[in-house]
Amino acid sequence: MSSCCGDTLGLFALVSYLPDPLAGFLDRLRIELVPDTRPHSHVTILPPRPLHTEIEASIRLIEQKCGQAAPFTVELGDIEIFDCSSVVYLSIGRGERELKSLYTELNQGPLAYHEPFEYHPHITLTQYAGPGESVRLAAVARERWHAWRGPRSFTVETMSFVQHVVPQVWADVALAPLLAPAPVG
């Protein structure tokens, strides 16, 4: 889970995990770039935020909005660096519009939060490095990404509502499929 805004312990976020083999490749790349990290490759829909109400209200909103959204494909682009934070990331090509739409639909009610930065869908590869170190790490990441012959896209079908419970550990609180089937009975 990335954050340009410091410590996220205790905060909540909404993500979609990447499938293997792409996730495995990106997790190994993150460990190569930052050996002490514990990656779980994902795209963030709602960046880390506090909750100001019961968790159940947030989960209901997530289930409702995700149940109305169709699964969609995300295609990954190039390795880039955020100027504000020196975070090295994989850009999103196709699927960016859908991710931004989900962000807008979900950043309301019990999940409303004013982000310190404009929402910019991406896959984080490194964070907390200085500008010079980020340039070096981005060069390594570009080389590995260029050599990767596996998939560069994935389908977003499920959202995971997560909480930062201890340093480097985000726990799944609830799962919400996109276009959930109507209840029977």
Coil/strand/helix, residue 1: coil
- Listed in order, strand segments (DSSP E) in the chain are 12-17, 42-49, 72-81, 88-92, 122-126, 153-156, 158-166, 169-177
From the list 172, 153, 156, 152, the residue with the least C-alpha distance to 164 is: 172
In the chain, where are the structural domains located?
12-177
- How deeply is 147 buried, as exposed, middle or buried, from its count of CB atoms within 10 A (0-12, 13-18, 19+)? exposed
Condensed to tens digits (0 to 9), the pLDDT of residues 48-62 reads: 999 988 899 999 999
Taking the model in full, what pTM does it have? 0.89
Condensed to tens digits (0 to 9), the pLDDT of residues 91-115 reads: 999 999 999 999 999 999 999 999 8
What's domain 12-177's architecture?
Answer: Alpha-Beta Complex (3.90)
